[in-house]
Every structure is written in C-alpha cells, then in structure tokens.
Structure 1
Amino acid sequence: MRVSVIQMNQGSDKAANLAQARRLIEAAVEADRPGLVTLPETWTNLGGGRDSRKAAAEVLPPQGSGEPGGAAYEMLRGLARTHGIHVHGGSMIEDGAEKLFNTTVVFDPAGSEVARYRKIHLFDITGPDGTGYKESALYGAGDGLVTFAAGGITFGCTICYDIRFAEEYLALRKLGAEAIFVPSNFTLQTGKDHWEVLLRARAIESQCWILAAASTGQYEERGAQRSVYGHSLVADPWGHVVAKASDGIGWATARIDPTVTARVRRDMPVLEHRDARPVAL
C-alpha cells in the first residue's frame, strides 16, 4: 500500500485550513496514487487561542452511526469516497461538551468511519526557551488504544506527544500493528533535536512502519509567533527514513511493504524475546 503523509501550514482560519488540506490531498492523489493519506495534528486549527480552538471544534457523530458530522468530518469522508482511498484525518478538535479532545478519525474508501482515537498523552511541558504549553488546560485525555485494518495491513493510532512514551507503541505492536501514525505539531525547538530520533527509535523498537505527517512554518498564538518543525516522514521497521517532505507545505509518499516487516521481525524476534524473559523488568 502506498501512503502519503501531508505537510500543512495551518493557522486559526478553519475554512482556509480545510481548503489547504483538500488541495494537498487531491494533489498527492493525482501525483502519487496512494491508497491512504494522512494529515497533521489539529489540522483544522493551529493558534489563535482558546476561543479559536473552541470555534473550530466539531461534535462528532456516534462512531459507526453513519450520521453526518461537521465541515471537516464531512470533507474527509467525501475525499475518501471520491478518490476511493483511506483517509486518516491526522487529528481534529473534538467538542466533547465538558472538554475538547485531540481526536483522530479514519475513513475507508466507502466513506465509513473505521477508527477513532483520542490523544492519550497531553503536552504539558516547558520548552527550551521557557515557553510553556499546557494542553490539559483545554483538552481531555483519551484512555484507549486503537488499531484498524486497511489494505491487508494493521495500523495503530497515536498523536504527537505520544511518541515519547515507548510503551504505547509496544502495546500497539502487541495488538497487531504493523504501521503506526504520528500526526504532529512538533515545536521547532524540540523538533530539531528530537523529532527524527524519536520516530526512528519507535520504528526500531516496535518493528513497525512509522507514518508521521507534521505541521510546518509559523502560527500566531495570543499575539506571539510560534514555529513548528515539519519534516514529515515515513520510517520503515528497521528505522530507515524512506520518505521525507521538503520544507514548506507538501507531502511525501512511500510504499508500505509487508515483506520488509516480516523479514525484520523474523530475523530479530524482539517481541518473542521480550515475552520469554524469565523475570519482569
């Protein structure tokens, strides 16, 4: 299966973000003919503050109901149907009534929702420059792991800061994952030092393909300019980066080859070795 990771420079204008995502997905489909596309984290809104995020949030229909959703939800569903592909919607802002959630939705080629994942690990940190981030002030945390099948491959869902928690990736591997999504808005300062290192490490440890669509460029947050790292990429189960987006908006495409996954796992059976250890570590 060919997968395209879409790299966006979204802002606080939701309509403009939807138009940018549509344009990039359609261009990637025309150029590379992927069977699946994936977007960055919170591609419907980045910046503008609390009110902007709440305005961009959508109430999601009950999972599996087939009921209509908001503008972003329906755009993803329509693109999946029109192009006959799976669409992994990066993450969008879900209106959960009491709190918002940072949520992934995935559609199959018929436009049916086949997966929904809420980000588990929330970004409450202080950056190297002293800038504070407190995702939990606005968002609730998810509490469940999610996988889905497409093209004979089992995919696992994570979002951005989850990448720092290796146990989540091992748990997805144990659930059968062969490829894992990491849609992200990595900050420039953490990204330049940690982004590719972490993605390759999770690929090596889990022996899964890592599919990381990221936001790039600058955005405004309560009057201040912030920068995100970009460098969307695909890494194979050996940790090689097999595709990477250039600076600026665009995409990168790679073929997920199950024979590579099988060979890596056969020749270095780390999961079996882990389960066979005589004592808990």
Structure 2
Amino acid sequence: MRVSVIQMNQGSDKAANLAQARHLVAAVLQADRPRMVSLPETWTNLGGGRDARVAAAETLPEPGGTGGPAYEAMREMARGAGIFVHGGSIVEQGAEKLHNTTLVFDPEGREVARYRKIHLFDITGPDGTGYRESALYEGGAEIVTFEADGTRFGCSICYDIRFPEMYLALRRAGAEAIFVPSNFTLMTGKDHWEVLLRARAIETQCWFIAAASWGSYEERGATRQVYGHSLIADPWGQVVACCSDGTGWATARLDRAVTERVRRDMPVLEHRKLA
C-alpha cells in the first residue's frame, strides 16, 4: 500500500486550512497516486487562541450522518478519489470540553475509525513557553485500530509518542502500522521528533506514519513555530520518506513482507518478560 503524509502550514482561518488541505491532497494524488493519505494534527486550526479553537470545533455525526465542513471535506476526498483518508485530527466539540480527534474514511466515504487523543500536552518547553492542552481539551480513554486493504493500522496523536506503553498496546491489538499526526514544537521537534518515532518503530516493529505541521502561527499575540519534517519509518526504524521545510508531502510503500521478516527474525513481542 502506498501512503502519503501531508505537511501543512495551517493557521486560525479554517476555510483557508480546508482549501490548503484540498490543494495538497489533489497534488499528491496526481504526483504519487497513494492509496491512503494522512493529514497533520488539528489541520483545521492552529493558533488564534481559545475562541478560534471553539469556532473550528465540529460536532461529529452518528455513523452515516452529515458532519461539519471538515468532516464532509475528508469524506469527499476519500470518496472522490477512491482512497483511504486518515484525517490527522480535528477539533471536536465535546459535552463540556473539546476533543483532539482523529477520523478515518474508506474509499466509499464511510467513517471507519474515530480516536480521541489520550495524552494531553501540558508541558513547559525548553524556551519557557507553556502549553496547557487540558485547559480546553478532554483526553480520550481508548486505543483504536482499523483495517485497510488487509493491513491493521493503529491511531495516536502527537504527545502520545512519548508513552511507549500505548504503542505496545497497539501492537498487541494487531497493529502493523501506526499513525502519529503532530504539531511538534520547533524546540522539542529538533531534538526528539525523529528519535521518538524511530524508537517506537523499532520497539513495536511497526511502520510509523507521521504527518506534521510546519512553520509559524500566531497564538495570543505571540508567534510560535512547529517543526514539520513529516516522515514514514519502517519496522526496522529506518526513515524511508520524509519532508523538509515547507508544505508538501512524502510517500512510501508499506511492504508487509518487511514487517513479517523483521518480526520473524527478532520476535521481541514473544520475548517480553515484564509488560
């Protein structure tokens, strides 16, 4: 299966973000003809503060129902091109707080997975900038997998990557490839992004598919930067496709024979003693 990660430079203008996503997906379909595309974390909104996030939030429909602009855009991307669309994540309106939520659509435009980010980004960065995702968002509680063309995929989002027990649980649930759509900060990304993704790939012997946001955005009067460098890593931990700076995409073919060989020759899951 050919999979493409889309790298965006989104801001707080939801309509402009939707247009950017449509443009990039159309371009990668023409250039690389992937079977599946993946968008970054909160690709419909980055920055602008609380009001912009709330304005970007969508109430998700019951299966088969009609959703908001981003929901329907992803559905149409999938159905129109006959591909799987992993929607990175969007802002979902919850009962009391927001959710940071992944949606996946099959080639018929049917929703096949819905994952709410479990680990919330409440940290102080190396430059002293504070991030408090829990002020607006409520974390999810369940891991999620789905099947596409005979391959089992696992879902995660950004800060989840720092919690290896989650990825072990996804591997045990049958995952052969795992998504990590992200808005990694520039300061943490330059030191940790590739290291963490490759480590989780090696530990789980899964493909890692990480679409990321790149560039600067405005947040409550300050300019913040996200790292980008979207990538795909194989089960041996090698980066097989990546983006540099700027918007764009990277594409790789997920080869199940590679997964099977790595797991056969080094059966680490069978050798585990503690967890």
1:249 aligns with 2:243: no
How many angstroms does 1:97 deviate by? 2.8
1:149 aligns with 2:173: no
Give the 3-state SS of the residue equivalent to 1:139 in structure 2.
coil
How many angstroms does 1:152 deviate by? 1.1
1:33 aligns with 2:33: yes
Q: Identity of counterpart residues, as a percentage?
A: 76
Give the whole-Å Cα distance in 2 for the aligned partners of 1:219 and 1:78.
28
1:209 aligns with 2:207: yes
TM-score after normalising by structure 2: 0.99
Give the whole-Å Cα distance in 2 for the aligned partners of 1:165 and 1:92.
22
**Structure 1 letter corresponding to 2:56:** A
Give the whole-Å Cα distance in 1 for the aligned partners of 2:146 and 2:35.
15
Give the whole-Å Cα distance in 2 for the aligned partners of 1:239 and 1:158.
18
State the partner residue of 2:198. 200
State the partner residue of 2:264. 266
Correspondences of 1:1-281 after superposition (within 5 Å): 1-62=1-62, 65-274=63-272, 277=273, 280=274
Give the whole-Å Cα distance in 2 for the aligned partners of 1:162 and 1:84.
30
Per-residue CA deviation, residues 52-79 of structure 1 (Å, 9 max, x unaligned), is 00000000002xx200000000000001
Which 5+ residue runs of structure 2 have no aligned equivalent? none
Give the whole-Å Cα distance in 1 for the aligned partners of 2:225 and 2:123.
16
Give the whole-Å Cα distance in 1 for the aligned partners of 2:24 and 2:35.
15
Aligned length: 275
Which 5+ residue runs of structure 1 have no aligned equivalent? none
Give the whole-Å Cα distance in 2 for the aligned partners of 1:232 and 1:266.
28
Give the 3-state SS of the residue equivalent to 2:201 in structure 1.
helix
Give the 3-state SS of the residue equivalent to 2:104 in structure 1.
strand
Per-residue CA deviation, residues 168-224 of structure 1 (Å, 9 max, x unaligned), is 000000000000000000000000000000000000000000000000000000010
TM-score after normalising by structure 1: 0.97
**Structure 1 letter corresponding to 2:240:** V
**Structure 2 letter corresponding to 1:18:** L
Give the whole-Å Cα distance in 2 for the aligned partners of 1:174 and 1:18.
35
Give the whole-Å Cα distance in 2 for the aligned partners of 1:60 and 1:26.
25
Give the whole-Å Cα distance in 2 for the aligned partners of 1:127 and 1:78.
38
How many angstroms does 1:151 deviate by? 1.4
**Structure 2 letter corresponding to 1:51:** D
Moved over 2 A (4+): none
